[in-house]
Structure 1
Amino acid sequence: MKKFLQQTFASFIGSLAGLFFFFALSAGGLFFFFMAVLMNSNTPQVDNQSVLVFNLNSQITDSTGDRPLTVVLGEESPDILSLRQITTAINRAAEDERITALFLDGSKGNINTGYGSLTEIRTALENFKNSGKKIISYNVSLGEKDYFLTSLADEIYLNPLGTVEMNGLSSAQLFFADALEKYGIGVQVIRVGQYKSAVEPFTRNDFSPESQLQTEELLTNLWDIYTDKITESPTLTPSSINNIADNIGLLKAEEAQELELVDTLGYPDEVNDNLKIISNNENSDSVPTIDIGEYVAITNRNNTQNVKYTIAILHIDGNIVDGMGRVGEVGGDRMAQEIEKIRDDDNIKGVVVRINSPGGSAIASELIARELELTAQEKPIVISMGDVAASGGYWIATAGEKIFANESTITGSIGVFGLLFNLEDIADNIGINADVIKTNELADIGNTFKTKTEQEINIYQSNVDQIYTLFLEKVAQSRSLSTSEVDEIAQGRVWLGSIAQEIGLVDEIGGLDSAIEYLNTVLELNEQYKIQEFPQRRNWESELLTALGGANFKASNLDKVALTNTIWNLNSELELVDIINKPNRIYTILPFKMNIK
């Protein structure tokens, strides 16, 4: 079936290419070409007294990079906006006389991004509000992340049949040590760091005391930041929010209005009538609106003319892996090539490394950090941390001269581990026997069909210890601390950005815009710069061809292993297949997939 799909797809592409070149070389092709040019020239404009619209259901990415095939083919897929597009549009609109108000539109769904990104968007909304312009919000239902933004609105509308979720934060984790034992999958662990709990789902059936402690503290600190932000109005207090979270949790529309979480219960047409008044369009049939993507595209054309300098933004966005990496991953080799391009470009005067990664391969992290260190000898490098910049992500951050993070950024996790799987019991249960002929005692150290000996474990452990020591030394040198001081705050422990600043892992609290402004000041660019983002977007065609060309899991890996892979991927940033295929790999990554809800 797969071969048939490949042949069919190849035939389709070939036919399409042939038709394209035929029309391109014919009179009809020229006609369509000129029509396309004319259509492209009909670009949207910003009308006077317009309302800027931010669709809260937009898919928010940290960069304008890779676009997965699943997004392209998805039915009714949401708008895709980078975080910088959103903050840039809102900040520009604050000073644009043509924009009279901002509409936070939650009619299509809820916002879904990390609290680090939400903090940067909220900062831009505060700037817009401080300009004297109004913010109006409308939601069918309000989640806690939505409310983190809409609480700033001058008027908060909620559908009369809607609800407001206000029940606190949680982070759930599955543990399946018993299941692995039942299926005969063996796991041996090598690690440094008492808080480095990424291996615990395989070895335990509950949180370890260390993991429970750090997760509770992280959630509590994040919730305190959250309640402080949303209660800046005089009618709400952190105490009242906690009372709601403990006793109600999910509020009906009338309850939310009575408790003053929302202002008005209404429908979209009523919101539209209010927007007409606010934007001075009450005598018009409709309100002139423009969405964020269009607004940024229009204003970019005016803001990048006749600029002298360039600031590069290098996005480290995703799991850090060896090699070139797939779409959505940070390939060490690919990033090294991108950094070399930046270093060789004389027009680029400074670099912001934007990290939104839980970490990954220690080798790939060090490769990226090394290339950045070489670049720092020629041009300044600053770090901007997004939702998460932990473990291998923090390893890379040590190459910057200054580290910016948001209050709610998840960072730290300075620790190292490795996982050694063996399928000995599975093979034995179904009658498969693995035999080895070898020249030396350790020739089969990577054999996944046998349990590692004490000697072999000690060899792996020594490698992990060495990498942890190197990690401590890099952090110590970067942060002007002793290795013993770093070790006290390391051990794989995770910190929020606000706490990380207090213990010396972060320099300043601020987002991507703060990091850019720092370079503008240090380099004395006087706002005469443009932004160039790296790496360039990869298209979905290559991803599709790769998907058609190979399976992720061969049948010989057995259904039981596939089941374990599925469970693992629900809980971890790592891929089980990669661990099994490369058992000697050492990782610097977050304790587990920290889905905070």
Structure 2
Amino acid sequence: MKKMKIVIFLVISIILAGAAVGEAIPDYYSRYFYLMAPPGAFQYGLDGYVNPANLAFLKAGESRFFWSTEGVKARSFENWGFVTAVPSLGFGMEHQRLPVGHVNDYRISLAGGNDGGAIGMAYGWSSGDYAAPRRERLLSIGGISRPNRYLSLGLLGNFSVQSPGREGVAEIGIRPLGDARLTLFADGAWMRGNKFKDSPWSAGAAVELSPGIGIVGRYFDSKAFTLGLSIDFGHLGISGQGHYDNNQKLSGYTYSVRAGGLQPSIFNTLGEKDNKFVPISLKGLVEYQKYALFDDQSLRFMDILKNIRAAVDDPRIGIIALNLSGLRIYPENAWEIREELKRAQTAGKKVVIFFDNAGMTGYYLASAADLVVMDPQGSLTLYGYAISKTYFRGTLDKLGLGFDEWRFFKYKSAVEVLSRDKMSEADSAQNQVYVDDWYESTRADICQSRGLSADSFDSLINNQAYFMPDMAVKAGLVDTLARWSDIERILWNETGNYFGAVSTEALLPNALPPVHWGLRPQIAVVYGLGDCAMDTGIKARRLEQVFLGLAGNRNVKAVVFRVDSPGGDGMASDIVAEALKRCAQEKPVIVSQGQVAGSGGYWISMYGTQILAGPSTITGSIGVIGGWLYDKGLAQKLGMTSDHVKRGKHADLGLGVILPFVGYQVPARDLTQEEYAKMEGFIKEYYDGFVGKVAEGRKLSIDSVRSIAEGHFYSGIEGKKLGLVDEIGGLENAIDLAKSEAGIAPDEEIDIIEISKYKGLFNFPWRIPSLPTGVQNNSVYNYLKKVCEQPGQPLPMMLPGTYPEISR
């Protein structure tokens, strides 16, 4: 509405400042007689040619060609014009034959705004026969406000830049049913020098008989009227209207042909159903974010889920076909995609999945399909699940580095890889329980989908493990062998019907413009990814501002916080947690935990209105750990020394040689007994605070939290039993729950606002990294880096790499 107030002020001010209009600005209704209704009330008003603000509502590029007949000769051709536009930018031209010649009007338009309101500006000029009435150059300012689904208000000002000529147009559209089934409208044009009571006006209604078919009637103050019909075929559309004079006699016709953006189609109305398939390629790394440009190696997780749901809601789609060739994905994300495919099957869609080479994760996803297709030269490896760690105690000894593990809680094992040469008994036990939960959940799902018994599945894992294509078919793991390039033939062989392909971009929910006027309720999806750190990983400083901003944003009705973090810096974790807590006091905040949300990752989750996790999510790990890396002969081996002066008993703590090239300082000594005692008290106090916050956030007693804490991590399944998680579910389930908590009806359209959707504009693959990528991504290197950067700090974190990795 603020934008609309600006337009109202400008239009009224300029009109009142002007003089009467001569021939410089022809009459509004005679100039735009092609319009079936006011531009803000029906379709896109000749794509911004009349009111430039319409351009902001366009969702895709389109063009229109329109013409009028010579009197009532339906096949004659007199005046004509065309417009072509993309969102926010348009150009149009109109040719008119006049008694003294012809004239061509041109217009270029710009607009900005959103579905709730927009403003636009246009510049127009003319050319033609010298004898034709002189047309002056025009500046047009327009605005359209749609405060809700029932009301549309429009205002347009046309101003001559060569004379005081001024014109103002106001319009209103009302949808009593809240959608396009019935639209009532009225408008009026006023020129300075005319009395309001003498200003021309029109009123009428548009009725959508069914999707793709509409009729429009419009009555003018002169007692003339028009009757029109509009038919859309998807990317093409036609319309026509008859013009009746003030004696109610037919005086002529106008027609329009549209090509471009998808619109509701008469074909769907006529029963085009379940005769298409949508092919979805999952080649690449499935991530939450990617680069906006030049990043064809990554797939956005949200896009995959959205496309599956769009296929479910598209009545044309009978089959969803996935190609898993080249897929790399976390197991938990694979589970979420699998759940969406099962939902599609429940809705009556068939699922076909192809793979060439797959392991446990890829096959787990593929097993959900009604038809599993394997490449005739592919392979399938089903080894089971394992969690393995590499230990570096001996390596540190050889390098001359000492490491003191500050561990005071039984299961908090993040730094064992630096202090031990194998798993501790406690760590081995918790990892085994997790692997068992993960395996049994996977086995149950595969057996249910493929009709296998648990014993037969175990036998395949333990006695076969590797399957050539024919073996996979014989074992009942695969239905048929074929290449992805033969997918249409496969569908024909299996169903006896031909299925045409529809791209994900062309799925109706993805391609159709919004059904309703106004802004839809918004759900914000916020990502907390990577280590808990202030300016890297989850970027705590930024996330704090995001949550505080969302708390006061009235358009955002609920928030979904997707957490995929092993923890890290306790301060960074607490900053985000407190900001989330404040946001949750204003609106629902649903936490969706990804592959790992342990330790600091759980810290940033605990104040959510509800917490959802997947079966293989690692959650919990409520504990704090620390460690001290120090020089135990390294400097001597390298021929390096360091020296210092100090004032303060502990001022030399952390001082030592700085390693060349790496740039990290290695403390020259271990802690004294006094320093160790202080550090121990600090970590235990930090732990008590963590436990207390979890108890508050989850509404549990402190004793009950202590009984499941001590750094113990759990699968999502076990976490739900213990009260750490509310429900088993994925990101889409969290969005559905957020809608429900916000009081939004399940079938009501919403807008998803992702923060942030992209990593950046584009990556620079040619830049020289400070270290090889393999080193930078190494979990132990990253932990050592954190220890060196924050020596002596308690860290609520899990060592990256101790949870399921990306697999195929």
TM-score, normalised to structure 2, is 0.61
Contact 1:85/1:296 (CA < 8 Å) preserved in 2? Answer: no
**Structure 1: gaps of 5 or more residues:** 1-32, 554-561
Aligned to 1:311: 523
Deviation at 1:436, TM superposition (A): 2.3
Aligned to 1:249: 465
Give the letter for the 2:514 counterpart.
N
Contact 1:406/1:511 (CA < 8 Å) preserved in 2? Answer: yes
Deviation at 1:459, TM superposition (A): 2.5
Aligned equivalents of 1:279, 1:234: Cα separation in 2: 20
Deviation at 1:538, TM superposition (A): 4.1
Aligned to 1:90: 308
Aligned equivalents of 2:730, 2:485: Cα separation in 1: 36
Deviation string 1:25-69 (CA, Å, 9 cap, x unpaired) is: xxxxxxxx999989xx9678999633112223242223xx4539x
Deviation at 1:552, TM superposition (A): 4.2
Among 564, 574, 577, which residue is 1:369 paired with?
Answer: 577
Aligned to 1:10: none
Aligned to 1:509: 728
Pairing 1:142–2:358 present: yes
Aligned to 1:127: 343
Pairing 1:480–2:687 present: no
Aligned to 1:421: 629
Cα distance 1:105–1:470, how it changes in 2: closer, same or farther (>3 A)? Answer: same
Deviation string 1:227-247 (CA, Å, 9 cap, x unpaired) is: 000111464112111111111
Task: Mark the structure with the bigger radius of gyration.
Answer: 2
Deviation at 1:507, TM superposition (A): 1.1
Deviation at 1:379, TM superposition (A): 1.8
Cα distance 1:42–1:346, how it changes in 2: closer, same or farther (>3 A)? Answer: same
Deviation string 1:419-459 (CA, Å, 9 cap, x unpaired) is: 22123521122332222211110112232222222222223
Give the letter for the 2:299 counterpart.
I
Higher RCO structure, 1 or 2 (CA under 8 Å, sep 6+): 1
Give the letter for the 1:338 counterpart.
V
Pairing 1:345–2:528 present: no
Aligned to 1:229: 445
Aligned equivalents of 1:268, 1:112: Cα separation in 2: 18
Give the letter for the 2:363 counterpart.
Y
Cα distance 1:298–1:540, how it changes in 2: closer, same or farther (>3 A)? Answer: closer
Q: Residue 302 of structure 1: SS of its match in structure 2?
A: coil
Contact 2:262/2:512 (CA < 8 Å) preserved in 1? Answer: no
Superposed CA RMSD in Å reads 3.1
Among 465, 473, 487, which residue is 1:271 paired with?
Answer: 487
Aligned to 1:5: none
Aligned to 1:207: 423
Pairing 1:531–2:752 present: yes
Give the letter for the 2:291 counterpart.
R
Contact 1:168/1:245 (CA < 8 Å) preserved in 2? Answer: yes
Pairing 1:595–2:807 present: no
Pairing 1:60–2:286 present: yes
Q: Residue 377 of structure 2: SS of its match in structure 1?
A: coil
Deviation at 1:204, TM superposition (A): 0.8
Aligned to 2:99: none
Aligned to 2:401: 185
Pairing 1:452–2:671 present: yes
Deviation string 1:188-235 (CA, Å, 9 cap, x unpaired) is: 222342111110110111111111111111011100000000111464
Deviation string 1:378-421 (CA, Å, 9 cap, x unpaired) is: 22222111222111111011111211112221111111112221
Give the letter for the 1:67 counterpart.
Y
Deviation at 1:149, TM superposition (A): 1.9
Aligned to 2:370: 154
Q: Residue 416 of structure 1: SS of its match in structure 2?
A: coil
Among 317, 328, 331, which residue is 1:99 paired with?
Answer: 317
Cα distance 1:87–1:143, how it changes in 2: closer, same or farther (>3 A)? Answer: same
Contact 1:391/1:589 (CA < 8 Å) preserved in 2? Answer: yes
Aligned equivalents of 2:381, 2:424: Cα separation in 1: 30
Pairing 1:584–2:796 present: no
Give the letter for the 1:476 counterpart.
A
Aligned equivalents of 2:280, 2:444: Cα separation in 1: 24
Cα distance 1:461–1:379, how it changes in 2: closer, same or farther (>3 A)? Answer: same
Deviation string 1:455-483 (CA, Å, 9 cap, x unpaired) is: 22223222221211111001111222222
Cα distance 1:430–1:132, how it changes in 2: closer, same or farther (>3 A)? Answer: closer
Contact 1:191/1:464 (CA < 8 Å) preserved in 2? Answer: no
Aligned equivalents of 2:695, 2:687: Cα separation in 1: 12
Cα distance 1:587–1:72, how it changes in 2: closer, same or farther (>3 A)? Answer: farther
Cα distance 1:428–1:300, how it changes in 2: closer, same or farther (>3 A)? Answer: farther
Aligned equivalents of 1:296, 1:497: Cα separation in 2: 35
Pairing 1:302–2:525 present: no
Cα distance 1:310–1:270, how it changes in 2: closer, same or farther (>3 A)? Answer: closer
Pairing 1:173–2:395 present: no
Aligned equivalents of 2:508, 2:569: Cα separation in 1: 36
Aligned equivalents of 1:376, 1:34: Cα separation in 2: 39
Percentage identity across paired residues of the two chains: 26
Decide which structure has greater strand share.
Answer: 2
Among 471, 491, 501, which residue is 2:690 paired with?
Answer: 471
Aligned to 1:406: 614
Total equivalences in the alignment? 533
Deviation string 1:226-280 (CA, Å, 9 cap, x unpaired) is: 0000111464112111111111111111111111111112233543212246788
Deviation at 1:484, TM superposition (A): 2.1
Cα distance 1:268–1:37, how it changes in 2: closer, same or farther (>3 A)? Answer: farther
Cα distance 1:52–1:377, how it changes in 2: closer, same or farther (>3 A)? Answer: same
Aligned to 2:433: 217
Q: Residue 410 of structure 2: SS of its match in structure 1?
A: coil
Q: Comparing 135-144 with 268-277, which one deviates more in the overlay? A: 268-277
Deviation at 1:81, TM superposition (A): 2.2
Contact 2:561/2:590 (CA < 8 Å) preserved in 1? Answer: yes
TM-score, normalised to structure 1, is 0.82
Give the letter for the 1:53 counterpart.
P
Aligned equivalents of 1:432, 1:315: Cα separation in 2: 44
Aligned to 1:81: 300
Contact 1:413/1:495 (CA < 8 Å) preserved in 2? Answer: yes
Q: Residue 278 of structure 2: SS of its match in structure 1?
A: strand
Deviation string 1:335-390 (CA, Å, 9 cap, x unpaired) is: 11222221232211221111111111111000100111122222222211122211
Aligned equivalents of 1:227, 1:503: Cα separation in 2: 23
Decide which structure has greater helix share.
Answer: 1
Aligned equivalents of 1:78, 1:433: Cα separation in 2: 46
Aligned to 2:475: 259
Give the letter for the 2:696 counterpart.
Q
Pairing 1:518–2:518 present: no
Cα distance 1:274–1:429, how it changes in 2: closer, same or farther (>3 A)? Answer: closer
